Structure 1
């Protein structure tokens, strides 16, 4: 680390630029972010509805096996881990009876299953804000002392870094949908934030920090298994080995690992006894997921990450470059280790996609926040203008598409939307329009504030980015949620299948699946309690086929003289269809 750190860092900042962002604005921004789109919609395939199905199976089955080992009806869902199933099932058990006073039993369960998302988001906000605050207060991170004074205080600077980190996280495009789904991903992001905070806490309080670290690492393992926990565990070990304030506390790592191991074994030992098949499949899924993916797959991931991590990744690269001489400083090295560990996992996890990409968001946001005080005023202003133009355009696009759907103008856009939502009857929801108008007005006021007041605060760009993304998201989940539900929900086709079964299923006759995906299987279970069997002796078969093959009459018959009792699909779906078939009785 260069000498005279306090006088030679690349950060240059005046006290007015580190002005405090009102806490009410930060809290309100977070609440709008997590509440918009969380409720009043159907679960969508795959992860969203599968996780809900495991929760409902645990409640309806009631057995210890169904609680310890996630299942989708008769299907052993041996992926990820049981922790989010436990928390979601408990939430449904406790809160769904209250929600049934206002809505149907199914909708009450759906709402209750998403209440834990508030907890995961809270962990994310608290853990990330506290970690970045204390990293921002470290002497190595402080801005250059000005010749005549006027630089921000240590507290103000740390608070500005923490606010910027949180706002950059909220402005990241890739996780906004994932944070609203019922799956292990939002929980894992929240736990990663707590792990980072635990390590920062160990700087001064190694005992409590190590205990919190061990607890969180154990829960990470129960949330997404080896695939999800390995990058976080590796980053934790490397941080203790190489981050200077943690090296002297390395002995506390034994406590962390002991606590984590005890938590995992408390689940694994009874799980292995109760469901050896499930645990074998779970271990197999984890081990098969780990393998060298090759550079072609890495290039695909880099292409996806360009939009997934927008707009934080350019700031991340700037931070690494601007602080390159301080690479061993804790405020840079700690997030760099988490970034490197999560990125390296993309090389060794088969089929890496959004769940794996999500672990890159927090370290990118943390590094990006430290880039802000190193930027020149012209660059900061350019970023402000880019955020204004970009998100004004996305908000206008959402409105234009909605107008085209409702009025038929512009005709080309209306035609494309109608093709994607074939069979959908448009309608206008007055409450949704009012919320969308309020959100649009808030964005216009935010832009006007930036252009007319010209605030000196360095956070203005991150406020604009977060506010713009949240505005676009709010417009999507108000104006477009009915259409999205129509296109992506399996509620209607599940009802059609249930009606066909009431008509054709005979007493004692079971139904098995043929080629039905886990998301579709979970949807039929959630919406109509249709539990598909694996028994080959079942004479009723639900077969999932390609719609193109069905239209061309190229679907291979399951048996000669089999009767097709029903066929159906989602109205807007152009790819898949379902056949209910009765097989002839064997002679």
Structure 2
């Protein structure tokens, strides 16, 4: 995997050469995947909401109706929350925090996504290229946050990875592919939105236009997929309709199609330039490598190994361009076809392009690593005074210290230097070096800086301070003028009966918690105020209503 192989030799190879190191790929995936899954409180943009929904389920809430601060939370179907709640219930005896268990669920789904991309790359381009597809996906900058974030967004990535494999497999084993395809659609119906499910189905239904999929076996695969997915995928909407008709109506009208709104409130073309504004960094380096691969085979794009990922890529691009409210989490779907396309062309990169990628990655990640180590040493030693003082001011509740994270950072740095001492940077070697560098930076950020970041990003002190302030008082608390992340963090860490402005009975709550810059005496008697450590803008004020 670490050496360059010309395309002709790659196609003729029957058995893997002895120089291959499959253990290296596994180690790279583990070192990329595990850091950041445990050891810190929920962070923005989506963890506070996810963990609050999961906690409400475990506290006796209706598992069929996701609730955030007493309000239906319908941005995603509940499969991710169910998985995390089941794991939390099963492993409650271990004492592992619920938010850590939720991220472990993300790690499991992320591992499945990497597996699916690898299988798709192998099926389309050959066995060794499947490994390259995994390396390229791991090296994608935009995946770094969402691949370690407690959010249902990872389910879409996983489903589209396996859909790519199922569609590639359909020409060879149609019934097996049909079952896999149905499972991916089921994940989208129960874990994402109808919008993503319809996008996936559209990608599959358009393929018979091309001769490679215009056969009876593929039609059998499609039929099997619908039989597997639709009956089970409709169970949750039917449950909502029967047990919470008002929530079902809200979901169907406003949320069922995800970034396109709902059937009764469609949203189109709100930010047509969004994808272009993030693609250069979000999909680096798979985007330029995939572009080069397509240019190299531009006369053979009808070949199924290029046609399938290209169809899915164009569908996802159109999906994001015409969307009503695109986001980074939805752009994850963009990475899957790019990784598979790039895997087929990475070995054909010109020497200059491969060397440029290698040296750009090496210098960039080396500079970032030196900066992370230097700032961390300044924080530990208290010198130089100016830098150390600024870092302490940004996270005033952080207590400097060393632990297993420091040892991990040292080991990872040494391992990265060892990787750089390998052979010359052709094709996959350059891609592997990039992925290793990104893994190094992520590992250093987690190993050295996670406690410092957590001390300023967590809502734990706000929630616990609010809990102490209402000791001995009865009644619910209405949350006002705050976003869903703040509502989720306060609900999770306080454990109180807090209700968002749209929750039932919120207006009747005797207490109200307001996010504001300054206190407002017209709201009633001020009982408490608080904020996250180091936060000067986002403050919370608790009042008793007059």
Query: Shared fold by TM > 0.5?
Result: yes
Q: 1:419 to 1:340 in 2, by over 3 A?
A: farther
Match of 1:525 among 484, 487, 491: 491
Q: How many residues align?
A: 524
Match of 2:536 in 1: 574
Match of 1:143 in 2: none
What is the CA-CA distance between 1:250 and the residue it aligns to?
4.2
What does 1:289-308 correspond to in 2, within 5 Å?
289=261, 290-294=266-270, 297-308=271-282
Match of 2:515 in 1: 544
Q: 1:363 to 1:88 in 2, by over 3 A?
A: same
> Is residue 2:102 matched to residue 1:113?
yes
What is the CA-CA distance between 1:189 and the residue it aligns to?
1.1
| Structure 1: runs of 5+ lacking an equivalent | 1-9, 101-106, 137-157
> Bigger shift: 355-364 or 514-523?
514-523
Distance 2:489 2:133 in 1: 37
Distance 1:382 1:510 in 2: 60
Q: 1:409 to 1:236 in 2, by over 3 A?
A: farther
What does 1:133-148 correspond to in 2, within 5 Å?
133-136=122-125
> Is residue 2:346 matched to residue 1:372?
yes
Distance 1:402 1:235 in 2: 48
SS of aligned partner of 2:268: coil
Match of 1:465 among 408, 418, 434: 434
What is the CA-CA distance between 1:43 and the residue it aligns to?
1.1
Distance 1:236 1:416 in 2: 54
Distance 2:38 2:417 in 1: 26
> Is residue 2:255 matched to residue 1:285?
yes
Match of 2:3 in 1: none
Match of 2:479 in 1: 513
TM-score for the superposition, normalised by structure 2: 0.90
Match of 1:103 in 2: none
CA contact (8 A) 2:529 2:539 kept: yes
Distance 2:478 2:227 in 1: 44
Match of 1:474 in 2: 443
What does 1:200-349 correspond to in 2, within 5 Å?
200-242=168-210, 244-245=212-213, 247-252=215-220, 253-283=222-252, 284-287=254-257, 289=261, 290-294=266-270, 297-349=271-323
Distance 1:248 1:386 in 2: 49
Structure with greater Cα Rg: 1
CA offsets per residue over residues 196-220 of structure 1, 9 Å max, x none?
1111121111112112211211221
| Structure 2: runs of 5+ lacking an equivalent | 1-5
Distance 2:421 2:23 in 1: 20
What does 1:15-414 correspond to in 2, within 5 Å?
21-62=20-61, 66-97=62-93, 99-100=94-95, 107-136=96-125, 158-242=126-210, 244-245=212-213, 247-252=215-220, 253-283=222-252, 284-287=254-257, 289=261, 290-294=266-270, 297-409=271-383, 413-414=387-388
Match of 1:441 among 410, 414, 420: 414
Q: 1:108 to 1:251 in 2, by over 3 A?
A: same
SS of aligned partner of 1:68: coil
CA contact (8 A) 2:107 2:147 kept: no
CA contact (8 A) 2:114 2:137 kept: no
Match of 2:403 among 407, 416, 430: 430
CA offsets per residue over residues 514-572 of structure 1, 9 Å max, x none?
22322222112222212313421222111112x2xx1xx6x5833xxx10111111122
CA contact (8 A) 2:274 2:326 kept: no
Distance 1:529 1:42 in 2: 15
Distance 1:474 1:70 in 2: 33
Distance 1:271 1:572 in 2: 42
Distance 2:158 2:185 in 1: 12
Distance 1:55 1:268 in 2: 19
Structure 1 consecutive aligned stretches of length 4 or more whose deviation exceeds 6 Å: none
What is the CA-CA distance between 1:248 and the residue it aligns to?
4.4
Match of 1:498 among 461, 464, 467: 467
SS of aligned partner of 1:261: helix
Q: 1:300 to 1:418 in 2, by over 3 A?
A: farther
CA RMSD, aligned part only?
Answer: 2.3
TM-score for the superposition, normalised by structure 1: 0.84
SS of aligned partner of 2:323: coil
Distance 1:243 1:462 in 2: 33
CA contact (8 A) 1:123 1:191 kept: no
